Structure 1
Amino acid sequence: MSTALPDAIGARRLNQGITATWWYTVSGVMVFQLMVLFIWLTIFGGMGVDLVTIAIIGIGGVVWCAASLPLLLQYRQRDDTAGPVAAWRGTLIPIVFAVVFGIVSGVFSGLWLVGALPLIQSLTLLNWPRGVRLRLLVAAMVVLAALWFIDWRTTFADADAEVSSAWGLFGFFAVALPAMTVMSLWWWDVLVTLDRARAAEARLGATQERLRVATDVHDLQGHHLQVIALQLELAERLLDKDPDAAHEQLRLARASVAEARQGTRDLAMRFRGVPLPDEIANAVDLLRAAGTTADAEVSPAAAQAPASVLGPVIRETTTNVLRHGGGRWARLSLTRHGGAWRYEIVNDAASDSSASDAAGRSGSSGLDGVTRRVAEAGGEVRVDRGKSEFHVVVTVPDTVSGPEGQR
């Protein structure tokens, strides 16, 4: 059974594979913003600002950090061909809130850096073109450094050492915040590019394989069909003049048909008769290309296992994992126990119960075919459906691994 999947399923698996890294990126940006906010409030406390004002600014700062999340989520779903204000409805509210929060904080504190930082940070989260983003980053760092120096000269030049030290630390983190944010988003862009390249490579490999098969079939069938057509045409011309010669051409045409049939069978067996270690390796590569964490344990003598029986089983069970599994992990093994070969595949079950039920119904026909094939070889199949795992164990006698098993 073919392991080809719709592009939508492959894309969904690939997206799942990089989701964790995306949330690491978001967490890093949020932690850095909260760290800057904490130092910010510490400085306010050292300046003698009353607790009510500190509480209001602290709550506003937390909400400002929360308002940055929509900008980050929109950045992930961005269109690379669109400008930074293409989805202005999604960016307008967070930016307006950053402006209001910056004005309120700047007025209460009398500090230029505190007033400008929220807006500048929010601007760095927009989907700017790469060249524009770099220039924006340089300008933002220069402006923040200049405002920090102005505030230090006007407010903290004569402050005590503790407050002055805290302001210096805050200035460092404030100036570094846009740079850290842009670096995190750049790293995410690199990861997305690599992920798309991996998907494109998988699709290109499949396309090249289909072209190779199509070329081999065309060369084989085209040659034989042309010969058969000429033999039949010659037989038709000789039928009245020389019946014996016409019958000889018909016999040759029948032989050409048998030769074409055997050539097609040999061609099919050449693609189907893959050694089992390669079948396992191909299955692991396919699962990993779809974003699933996969590993395998293969016996050193696995090439002696019955490929004609276990090869289709490996392909069918891999297809079931891709179509109906949870998409997070899978483990495969092919080992020899006593007088039998044991193939085992276990994967995480789909989290949606309705999807799991539908998967069980749609995948039952494939597993029934696996069961029949293995039973004809004298083996057995055991299927365990759990809440969190789906487990298939196939046992085949090693006596099948002779010439008949490899046919």
Structure 2
Amino acid sequence: MSSPSPALSDPGPGARQLARGITATWWYTVTAILFIELMLVGAWTGIAVARDFSGVSLLVVGVGGIVWTASTLPLLIDYRHRVDAGPGVAWPRLLVAVVVALAYGGVAGAMIGSWQLAAMPVVQVFVLLSWPRGVRVRVVVVATVILVALALVDSAMAFAAGIPWWVPVIYGAMLPGIIVSSLWWWDVLVTLDRARASEARLAATQERLRVATDVHDLQGHHLQVIALQLELAERLLPTDPQAGMEQLRAARASVDDARQGTRDLATRFRSVPLGDELANARDLLAAAGLTVEARIHPDADAAPAADLGPVIRETTTNVLRHGRGGHARLILDRTADAWRYEVANDADPAAEDGAGGSGLEGVRRRIGEAGGTFEQRRDADEFVVTVTVPARAEIVR
């Protein structure tokens, strides 16, 4: 038995993830907003220190600004959940944020003599709320007007000496818009993510409907033919037993055709990646109490699932039926021009190599049709099935 490739991995149960969501984008949005707030606190702290070298302003404006920034984080977290549940206001958290904003703005604004700083924390709290679409625009407009007006008031005071009047005006005009733009971008991503999920569910529903229609048409046709053949056989048997038996044989052939047609239909519509097929086999054997060793190639999903998928299902069933229930080993490896799948289990010494019955013969036939090789053998106390299929089979089929 050849040793597995070093590139093989042993993924644990549940390790195969199919979706990751947009959590990283959300935390990027939160970080950007908090960074803007901290930049504002730093700017105000610099102005306060320039006017007061006692250190009290640094404590009040700087440290108080950090506390105020932290108080807005619960509002941002609530905003994410309110996007899922619809517009709304979490009043207890809002009350805490408003109290902190009022305290910080009032004390810091009075200390350095700025009306704009006094209003900015409270305005920021209301900008962060999840307002309905029409209300949000009005809130942004009102917040912008308030900050610009207070900037003009500050420009006429001694506080603004040496600072061009347009600097606080631009700051007041841009702050609400920047914050709301970040939140709007998050809303757009959530909407797109919901649309993607809805499209995937719709596609799955349409596919199931198409499968159901095909199954109905296939089974309906064969069942009608079988019913007619049996009815004809019932009429012919009393008078012409030979002709009646011919109709019974024809009905049996129609049953086989219906069964094969259903199997072919299920195979055609089956779309489980081979990596997931192997993970399901591993989990099924583990749930049955076996100790399972699984070494799966990282590119397992690129293997020809149409050929190897039925092999994995049949050999897993064979292990459950004819193994001793102790351990099993699943290996999927890739060579230069082929895929190699091996399944081994502890076998009953009294069982014969052909204990798998017709199932393994069906696997042998299927793999032969795909241009691959099939081998079953007994190694010590193990029963081993090894299958190889050409790598090009994925493209040809």
TM-score bucket of the superposed structures, by smaller chain: 0.5 to 0.7
1:59 corresponds to 2:63: yes
More helix per residue = 1
Match for residue 94 of structure 1? 97
Q: CA deviation at 1:36?
A: 0.9
Distance in structure 2 (CA, Å) of the matches to 1:70 and 1:24? 16
- Provide closer, same or farther for how the CA distance between residues 270 and 49 of structure 1 changes in structure 2, counting only shifts above 3 A: same
The residue number in structure 2 matching 1:121 is 124
Aligned to 2:21, the other structure's residue is in SS state helix
Q: CA deviation at 1:125?
A: 0.8
Q: Report the equivalent of 1:358.
A: none
Amino acid at match of 1:122: V
Q: State how far apart, in whole Å, the 2-side matches of 1:239 and 1:396 are.
A: 48
Q: CA deviation at 1:215?
A: 1.2
| Equivalent-residue separation in structure 1 for 2:41 and 2:225 (angstroms) | 82
Q: Which residue of 2 aligns with 1:204?
A: 202
Once the two structures are superposed, residues 310-332 of structure 1 have per-residue CA deviations (whole angstroms, 9 ceiling, x without a partner) of 68769xxxxxxxxxxxxxxxxxx
Aligned match for 2:136, one of 133, 147, 152: 133
CA separation of 1:79/1:307 partners in 2, compared to 1, >3 Å: closer, same or farther? closer
Q: TM-score under structure 1 normalisation?
A: 0.64
- Contact 1:102-1:119 at 8 Å conserved across structures: yes
Q: Which moved more, 1:180-189 or 1:258-267?
A: 258-267
Deviation at 1:152, TM superposition (A): 0.6
Structure 2 partner of 1:33: 37
Alignment match, 2:292:
none
Could you tell me whether the CA contact under 8 Å between 2:339 and 2:391 is conserved in 1? no
Instruction: Please report how far the alpha carbon of residue 46 of structure 1 lies from its aligned counterpart in structure 2 after TM superposition.
Output: 3.1
What is the CA–CA distance in structure 1 between the aligned matches of 2:40 and 2:391, rounded to whole Å?
68
**After superposition, where does 1:211-250 map in structure 2 within 5 Å?**
211-250=209-248
Alpha carbons of structure 1 residues 82 and 217: separation in structure 2 relative to 1, 3 Å:
closer
Query: What is the CA distance between 1:65 and its match in structure 2?
Result: 0.2
Q: Match of 1:360? A: none
Q: How far, CA to CA, are the matches of 2:206 and 2:97 in structure 1?
A: 47
Check 1:218–1:182 CA distance in 2 against 1; reply closer, same or farther (3 A cut): same
Contact 2:68–2:101 (Cα < 8 Å) also in 1: yes
- 2:43 and 2:60 mapped to 1: Cα distance? 15
* Distance apart, 1:192 and its partner CA: 1.1
TM-score, normalised relative to structure 2: 0.66
Helix, strand or coil: the match of 1:78? Answer: helix
Assess if the C-alpha contact under 8 Å between 2:75 and 2:128 holds in 1: yes
Partner of 2:152: 149
**Where does the alignment leave 5 or more consecutive residues of structure 1 unmatched?**
1-8, 284-295, 315-332, 344-371, 380-394
* Inter-partner Cα distance in structure 1 for 2:390 and 2:76: 59
Task: Give the letter aligned to residue 208 of structure 2.
Answer: R
Following TM superposition, by how much is the alpha carbon of 1:40 offset from its aligned partner in structure 2, in angstroms?
0.9
Alpha-carbon separation, structure 1, partners of 2:86 and 2:391: 60
Specify the structure having the higher radius of gyration (Cα). 2
Name the SS for the 1:126 alignment partner.
coil
Distance 2:67 2:223 in 1: 74
Please report the RMSD computed on the Cα atoms of aligned residues, expressed in angstroms.
4.1
Which residue is 1:107 aligned to?
A: 110
Change (3 A) 1:35 1:306: closer
Query: 1:352 — aligned with what?
Result: none
- How far residue 77 of structure 1 moved from its aligned partner, in angstroms, is 1.1
Q: Unmatched 5+ residue regions in structure 2? A: 1-13, 278-297, 314-331, 342-362, 368-372, 377-385
Q: Which amino acid aligns with 1:152?
A: S
What do the CA deviations read for 1:193-224 (whole angstroms, capped 9, x no partner)? Answer: 11122222222222222222211111101111
Give me the whole-angstrom Cα distance separating, in 2, the residues matched to 1:234 and 1:259.
19
Sort the Cα spacing of 1:184 and 1:226 in 2 relative to 1 into closer, same or farther, 3 A: same
Q: CA deviation at 1:265?
A: 3.0
Once the two structures are aligned, what percentage of the paired residues are identical?
51
1:235·1:246 contact (CA, 8 Å) conserved in 2? yes
Match of 2:269 among 271, 281, 288: 271
Ranked by relative contact order (alpha carbons within 8 Å, sequence separation 6 or more), the top structure is 1
The CA distance in 1 between the partners of 2:18 and 2:338, in whole Å, is: 35
